[in-house]
Chain A
Amino acid sequence: MSLFSPAEGWYYKKVSKDEKMWMMVALVLCIMLFVWMVMWHVYGKQNPSSITYRTSTAEFSKLSEAYTRQYMVGSDNGIPVVRPEPNSDVFVMGEMWRWSPVLILQKDQSYKFHISSRDLVHGYSIQPVNMNFQVYPGYDYVLEFKPTESGEYKVICNEFCGIGHHTMIGKIVVIEEEADLKAYGYENFKKAPGPALEKKNEPLSETEMALLGEQVYTLKGCGACHKTDGSSQIAPPWNGLFGKEEEVIENGKKISIKVDEAYIKESIKNPQQKITVGFENTPMPVFPVTDDEIDQLIAYIKTLKD
């Protein structure tokens, strides 16, 4: 009858016994589901946090960079490694396309993560434990994690963030005792010597410059796209780059140039001026780096041979 007016008296028809029973069961289930969520906040151990701070991409970049610089103990595949104290604040930055830093955590200890993004929306997905959170630019999301099992965890990005989305993968290592570090090749990672190097008054040697350059490379996330092992999925690799002849597009015209100090400086400050052929679809963003840091990066690139 659903295509016609219902029969007279439809409004007063008694609800049948079985339908009434089912509706009662359904109503009880609905209330139970609601109460369950509320109770999990009391008795459960996994509850998304309500703590968020307003921030800006610039402010959070500064914070997380300072944090990483201070607590960095080494680097793993171009990503800084930090070993935070239990119960301390940990700053995690998501950007196209890396999670930084790599973390060494102690099993059964709590850490207050502050997670934000430098550019787009990202998804913070810890595997294989399979916990997933959303990360926004401009919002500092505070999540207090307590790893309950030791082992190696990966952090993949599960919110689309551009063509290199699939390369965005980070790492968390959870250890029970010091000896566990060996399994990850982290046994020699110690607290960094501190920024004493930069405070010297006399000019730095090329080697010192290159070392600082490597630190900039790691801290600023150059390695998310520019590899040093020759692979070139998203951007030109840096090994063997200095002094190389490169095909670039300038003002829509293809020209050939030699990679020198001036070219690298221009590419960092104004990345759209000359675009390397083959990487037209992955334009480089402008990063906040100082002239000193650029000089250090150049020194570092010079040391990278094929």
Chain B
Amino acid sequence: MFRTCDITGFKVDLRSEKLIRYNAVFAVISLLLAVTAAILLVFTRYQPVHLLGAEWYYRLVTFHGLNALIFWIIFFEIAGLYFGSTVVLNTKFCAPKLGWIAFALMVAGLVLSNIIILMGKADVMLTSYTPLKAHPLYYLGIILFAVGALLAVVLFFGNLMIARRDKTYGDTMPLFTYGLMTAAIIAVITLASGALIYIPTFLWSLGLIDNIDPAMYKLIWWGLGHSSQQINVAAMVSIWYMVSFLSVGGTSINERVSRSAFVLYILFICLASAHHLLTDPGVSSAWKVWNTSYAMYLAVLASMIHAFAVPSSFESAQRRWGYNKGLFQWLSKAPWGNPAFSSIILAVIGFGFIGGTTGVIFGMEQTNIIVHNTIAIPGHFKGTVVIGTTLTFMGITYYLIPLIFRRKIVGFGWAKWQPWMFFIGIALLSISMIVLGQMGVPRRHWDSSFSGGPFTYNFNPAVDFFWALMMLGGTLAFLSTVIWILIVVISVFFGPKVNGPADMQLAISPPAPEAKSHKGFEAPGTLALTVIFLLVFLALFFLNWKWLAATWNVN
């Protein structure tokens, strides 16, 4: 039932390993579906090509959203949860049969929803705001998927209980698994919101319920839609800590701080639904201000704490290895040839500077007026969930291929620059979308020349430049995703077998040596980087408020 890993020394439950593999494979399939749609969408919005007709444009926006934001991410996270709760804890999988039932439910949900969308029975966008109505089987597909995912999360907790009972790890749960546990707790809250809204909506689509109030729908739907992104954040940050350990032998310079930050996520992240109701009727300003700020920004505080704790874990380890010169030698002498390492560093930078800054600014009650429903919003979450989560997942896969699939990476040279290409592509895409949105360009809109309308509108002529940049970025990101998928698929199915540590292309670092006691700063380079981040944030902050102040007055 177990094998002992000849590279890491972990006891691996073979039944768990198989589940991890299958969930990961379906994650990759979902990603392929998502990016195929994405490239068609990019070339539709890029007006000189305007590839798809209106019908297929909206259909594929729905398809892309569901496959990218739900199927790809959650399949991967389930694989991660199984990994973190069995392999890392040296324990067995509590109920493999239920694991397969969960998997089957999720696959059934994926197939059903996607077929209904492609048949043209659910052109409702991922958000499916009522009274827009999709075919009942579309909602049923999502419910099946969510039930499967919820079951998988329950199994994760089952594994934790067994590990705790059998004392398979020391006194304290490893930080990586602790972070995943945070993700799992948020997942339960999120999936409960999902059930709360999708089940009545399903009944409504069958005609059993008369009316689903659109404002109520939006409030609860975003309890699923936004909070689920915080599952990603927690999972992603956990992987950041793990890669710090694997690549340079680093660890959080103060685990109590890192763990407290995870707890802040659990406590406050569920208020995030408010971010989507800031310019809506129905809720008061007091409600908006309190909730959109996660009760005075305590969840943002958590991310800011990680923003220091993650890079400092790299820096502190590197300094202990002797790369101690100046502020940034730890960074210049880092293992850049390790694609997992470069992915994670780029993800941290992209997530912080693009996704994080815009997320906080766009999520403030009043500044939301100038970006709500513009293309700046998907621009923002390309900066969180794509450049952050997806790039992180891509990066960690470079470790999973040899360790879990036991194959060497085919095309390792390509793997080294794939993260860079992806980073540049998504950064271009995301920043151009944010700029376009600031100029008023709407999201989910087939024709920005308004053909067939009673009037027309010409955006600021600068949009043409940013549309071109967005198209370029989208193409780069698409190509690098295809490269990543090819590397993964070819390695997993045709790669040479891994027979021991000698076959590892990515180094696994031993833990960094103990620090000699020293006074002063533990991570001055990181502190400098966070100060730069702060200045960028403040610049964007005041710019946005200045733009807001230049609009009409509204009360």
Contact = CB atoms under 8 A, between A and B. Distances in A.
A26 B442 contact: no
B493 interface: no
A299 interface: no
B304 A26 contact: yes
Nearest to A107: B552
Given A2-B241, A136-B282, A98 B369 contact: no
Interface residues on A, range: 35 or more
Given A2-B176, A13-B254, A33-B364, A156 B456 contact: no
16 contacts: A2-B245, A3-B176, A4-B170, A4-B174, A5-B169, A5-B172, A11-B255, A19-B308, A36-B364, A37-B289, A129-B552, A132-B374, A159-B444, A165-B446, A166-B448, A224-B454
Contacts of B293: 33-34, 37
Contact of A19 (B253, B277, B278, B281): B253
A5 B175 CA distance: 7
A171 B374 contact: no
B58 A163 contact: yes
A139 B282 contact: yes
A41 interface: yes
Contacts of B452: 164, 166-167, 227, 231, 233-234
B549 A46 contact: yes
B440 A130 contact: yes
A16 B304 CA distance: 16
Given A127-B440, A131-B369, A27 B301 contact: yes
B54 A10 contact: no
A165 B333 CA distance: 53
Interface in A14-62: 15-19, 21-23, 25-27, 29-31, 33-34, 36-38, 40-41, 44-50, 52
A113 B458 CA distance: 25
Contacts of A137: 131, 214
Contacts of A10: 172, 255-256
Contact of A31 (B175, B245, B296): B296
A130 B281 contact: no
A160 B289 contact: no
B64 interface: no
A123 B455 contact: no
Given A4-B170, A31-B296, A46-B369, 7 more contacts: A2-B252, A33-B300, A49-B554, A121-B130, A131-B370, A163-B58, A233-B451
B453 A167 contact: yes
B548 interface: yes
B246 to A, nearest CB: 8
In the A-B complex, the 10 residue pairs with the smallest Cβ-Cβ separation, listed nearest first, are: A5-B170, A158-B442, A30-B297, A141-B281, A233-B452, A1-B251, A26-B304, A77-B454, A52-B281, A16-B522
Contacts of A6: 172, 174-175, 251, 255
A46 B553 contact: yes
B297 A166 contact: no
Contacts of B445: 156, 158, 165-166
B88 interface: yes
A154 interface: yes
Judged by DSSP, the binding face of B is loop
Interface centre among A6, A135, A170 (most CB of B within 10 A): A6
B281 A132 contact: no
A214 interface: no
Contacts of A131: 369-370, 551-552, 554
Nearest to B538: A29
Interface in B503-555: 511, 520-524, 526-527, 530, 534, 547-549, 551-555
Contacts of B374: 125, 130, 132, 158
B551 A130 contact: yes
B283 to A, nearest CB: 8
A74 to B, nearest CB: 14
A194 interface: no
A18 B534 contact: no
B329 interface: no
Interface in B283-310: 283-286, 288-289, 293, 296-298, 300-301, 304-305, 308-309
Judged by DSSP, the binding face of A is mixed
A139 B281 contact: yes
B125 interface: yes
Interface residues on B, range: 35 or more
Interface string B145-181: 0000000000000000000000001111111100000
A160 B551 contact: no
Interface centre among B88, B253, B281 (most CB of A within 10 A): B281
B257 A15 contact: yes
A7 B173 CA distance: 11
A300 to B, nearest CB: 17
Nearest to A146: B553
Interface in B425-456: 438-440, 442-448, 450-456
A84 interface: no
Given A10-B255, A48-B369, A121-B214, A41 B285 contact: yes
B370 A132 contact: yes
Given A33-B364, A48-B369, A145-B552, A160 B242 contact: no
A284 B282 CA distance: 30
Contacts of A272: none
A95 interface: no
Contacts of A144: 554-555
B410 interface: no
Contacts of B318: none
Nearest to B537: A29
A48 B450 contact: no
Nearest to B173: A5
A15 B254 contact: yes
B397 interface: no
Interface centre among A18, A120, A159 (most CB of B within 10 A): A18
A119 B133 CA distance: 12
A223 B455 CA distance: 12
A143 B214 contact: no
Interface centre among B439, B443, B454 (most CB of A within 10 A): B454
